[in-house]
Amino acid sequence: MPTIKTQTLTHVYSMGTPFESVALENVNIEIAQGEFVGLIGHTGSGKSTFVQHLNGLLLPTSGRVFLDGTDLNSSKKLRHEMRFKVGLVFQYPEYQLFEDTVYKDISFGPRNMKLSKSEIDERVREAAGFVGVSEALFDKSPLEISGGQKRRVAIAGVIAMRPSVLVLDEPTAGLDPEGCESILKNISNYRTATGATIILVSHSMEDIARIAKRLIVFEGGHIVIDGSPEEVFSQADRLKSIGLDVPIATDLATRLRELNIDVPECCYTVPQLRDAILSLKKEGTRC
Amino acid sequence: MKPIIQVKDVVFRYDGEENLPPVLNGTTLDIIEGSFVVILGHNGSGKSTLAKHFNGILTPDEGCILVDGMDTRDEARLLDIRRTVGMVFQNPDNQMVASVVEDDVAFAPENLGFPPDEIRTRVDEALKLVDMYDYRLHSPHLLSGGQKQRVAIAGVIAMRPRCIVLDEPTAMLDPAGRHEVIGTIKRLCRENGITIVLITHHMNEAIDADRVFVMSNGKIVSEGTPREVFSNVEALKAEGLTVPDTAELLYELKLGGFKFPEGTLSLEETAQAIAAALK
């Protein structure tokens, strides 16, 4: 049974007004437990609208959303429970920090789950550990810490609910390369440790290429491509025509093939390209 | 080749941070008029703080910043300084003040008291320069991120500044939006002679710069052409940065025994150099 399933999911904003717009149209998708999915699409393609249906923040105009086989919208109580199972981290999550202390902010989710004090404490420490927030920060105000630390605290606040599905909208936006690397590693580690399903919305083709195993491409409210990074990035022209791009390594591989250098089709990261070129060199020196 | 902005030994701390090391700790650099300059640095290196000094939003505690010879601490000259150097920030939504695109672009000229004809001319010219003239009667909030940033750039251009500073203008944009914005600013530099100072984490955006400065802990730790700066891969990684993907690949291949001409950096140069090395 898929963890997430949508059936002819459609969402229309401002219906009946002059600003009416169809953000999603007949979206059918299935995502299995433990998958690492990247969602890409130009601004306005429907990705953010889509992810907000996964924990009931938005309701479908028509169609259905199922979590573990149950229709998310069959009851208000169920929708409420879903918010703890599907954790949603918005872009620039540090804007959602509000408590007096880092500890209290991270504990907000678990506190609303009717857990015991000791369970809440365990969750806070575990979540902080996952994202590299040191316990020395627990008593500080979230407003006092650096931007990168704020980002981590916000993500910890969602992970503390131990969601089985973690959705992150541009978690690396505005971070420097070291910060990006570290956040992506934390997300991978969370998935490995808990078996959670990860859905990563991103505009960075390079980030997505590095860690996602399946890419879903949105365009104009529809899913237009759904496949492995190899399958998706091999359609460079198509992606570019819909406002997206391919990783630089892919463009480089294409150019090399035009220059009669035989690098395989499926290179979309620098390490893959490096390995392909190094093995071509070895073959060259053998003859 | 005159500098339009001169930064001399600047030291700066934010209020309430007297006990901490200064955010700018002896920063010195010159921005040459008409050039395309990129400033890189890890988060917390001081680059955004430095950017805000370029048009007097912040002023130094020690040292000085001269904009076309005007000291940014001279309040009497602030208006002239801000007409010379305009700023574009990261979040397009935070920079829109009007409900119609052309009204937003007119904001600065209106506040500078220009006559209506002059405002009309400047607004049209600015929108055409960023290729948003067809959207002049649209509502800003219905535009895409890339379009909004271009309108924000137009709003600055309407003041006919000689320099535009952009602080991570593409951080919130999709690839198409990024291309539009970077393409626009490169064109403004090449064709209209406007000095561009771009602060970014996207190393690939720095490849075509005339000069690159690397900041760390409030100081400039490296400067030069992109080719010079990005050839020091180890040093940049030690600063928590990285290099454009092409430079990364060439570096890794060099570790595997390849040799390439110095200064290979663009996609085309890299492809040609690798092809030559394999033949």
Q: Dump pLDDT digits (tens) for B130-161.
A: 999 999 999 998 888 888 999 999 999 999 99
Neighbours of A158 (CB within 10 A): 25
Phi, psi of B265 (to 5 degrees): -145, -45
Coil/strand/helix, residue B134: helix
- Kindly state the helix (H) or strand (E) to which residue A117 belongs, with its residue range: helix A117-131
Question: What DSSP letter does each residue of A1-59 carry, written as one string?
Answer: --SEEEEEEEEEETTTSTT-EEEEEEEEEEE-TT-EEEEEE-TTSSHHHHHTTTTTSS-
Tell me: pLDDT of A287 over 70. Answer: no
Are B32 and B2 within 8 A, CB to CB?
yes
CB contact under 8 A, A176 and B240: yes
Q: Looking at residue B86, what is its pLDDT?
A: 94
Q: What is the DSSP string of A161-182?
A: T--SEEEEESTTTT--HHHHHH
CB contact under 8 A, A176 and B41: yes
Show pLDDT as tens, one digit a residue, over chain B (279 residues): 899 999 999 999 998 888 889 999 999 999 999 999 999 988 888 999 999 999 999 999 999 999 999 999 999 999 999 999 999 988 888 888 999 999 999 999 998 889 999 999 999 999 999 999 999 999 998 888 888 999 999 999 999 999 999 999 988 788 888 888 999 999 999 999 999 999 998 888 999 999 999 999 999 999 999 999 998 899 888 888 889 999 999 999 999 999 999 889 999 999 999 999 998
Q: Which residue type does B260 have?
A: F
Q: Does the pLDDT of residue A286 top 70, yes or no?
A: no
Q: What is the ipTM of this complex?
A: 0.79
Cβ of A274 within 8 Å of Cβ of B252? The answer is yes
* CA distance to partner chain A, nearest, from residue B62 (Å): 24
Which residues, 6 or more positions from A49, have their beta carbon under 8 angstroms from its beta carbon? Answer: A11, A13, A23, A24, A58, A221
* pLDDT exceeds cutoff 60 at A108: yes
% of residues, chain A, pLDDT over 70: 99
Write the single-letter amino acid at A194.
T
Sequence-ordered list of residues with C-beta below 8 angstroms from that of A31, at least 6 positions apart, any chain: A2, A3, A4, A5, A37, A197, A199
Say which residue the tokens 């857990």 belong to. Answer: A115
Residue A48 and residue A20 in contact, taking contact as beta carbons nearer than 8 Å: no
Token reading at B257: 């025994």
Task: Find the CB nearest A256 among B168, B201, B274.
Answer: B274
Q: How far is CA A32 from the centre of its chain?
A: 15
The residue among A46, A44, A50 whose CA lies nearest residue A31 is: A50
CB contact under 8 A, B175 and A243: yes
Nearest to A252 among B90, B178, B267 (CB): B267
Of how many residues is chain A composed? 287
Place of tokens 């064109």: B187
3-state helix, strand, coil in chain A (%, to 5): 45, 20, 35
Q: How far is CA A37 from CA A77, A156, A192, A215, B195, in A?
A: 28, 20, 14, 6, 41
Nearest beta carbon to residue B249 from set A147, A273, A284? A273
Predicted pLDDT at B145: 80
Identify the residue with better confidence: B57 or A206: B57
For B177, residues 6+ apart whose C-beta sits below 8 A from its C-beta are A42, A43, A243, B144, B145, B146, B147, B149, B170
The model's confidence at residue A176, banded by pLDDT at 50, 70 and 90, is: confident
- Measured between CA atoms, the residue of chain B closest to residue A260 is B275
Instruction: Please identify which residue in the block is written with the tokens 């890339």.
Output: B146
Model's pTM, two decimal places? 0.85
Please tell me the predicted confidence (pLDDT) of residue B173: 83
- Best mutation site among B90, B138, B174, B207 for testing chain A: the one with the most A CBs within 10 Å? B174
DSSP B144: -
pLDDT value, residue B171? 85
Both tokens of B162, joined, read 């000689």
Q: Is A203 on the interface with B (CB under 8 A)?
A: yes
Q: By CA distance, what is A19's nearest residue in B?
A: B142
Q: In the prediction, which pLDDT does B95 show? A: 86
Identify the sign of the CA torsion B78, B83, B89, B94: positive
Identify any residues that bridge with B36 across adjacent strands, giving them in sequence order: B196
Question: In terms of C-beta density within 10 A (0-12 exposed, 13-18 middle, 19 or more buried), how is residue B117 classed?
Answer: exposed
Please indicate if any CB of chain A lies within 8 Å of the CB of B266.
no
Cβ of B256 within 8 Å of Cβ of A174? The answer is: no
Nearest to A261 among B144, B249, B275 (CB): B275
Q: Does B274 touch chain A (CB under 8 A)?
A: yes
One-letter identity of residue A108: F
Residues in A closer than 8 angstroms to B142, CB to CB, are: 19
Q: Which of A144, A170, A176, A282 to mutate against chain B (most B CBs within 10 Å)?
A: A176
Which two three-digit tokens encode residue B21? 């090391």
pLDDT the model gives residue B57: 94
- Report which secondary-structure segment, H or E, holds B30: strand B24-32
What's the rounded mean pLDDT across residues A117-141?
A: 94
- Nearest Cα residue to B172 out of A100, A65, A256, A201: A201
Q: Which residues of A touch B240 (CB under 8 A)?
A: 176-178
User: How many angstroms separate the CA atoms of A147 and A128, rounded?
Assistant: 16
Tens-place pLDDT, residues A254-279? 999 999 999 987 788 999 999 999 99
Taking CB atoms and an 8 Å limit, are A147 and B43 in contact across chains? Answer: yes
Query: How confident is the model over A233-262, as a mean pLDDT?
Result: 91
Whole-number pLDDT of residue A143 = 86
Across chain B, what does the average pLDDT equal?
Answer: 92
A284 near B CB under 8 A: yes
pLDDT tens profile B83-139? 999 999 888 888 889 999 999 999 999 988 899 999 999 999 999 999 999 999 999
CB-based contacts of B190: which residues, under 8 Å, 6+ apart? none
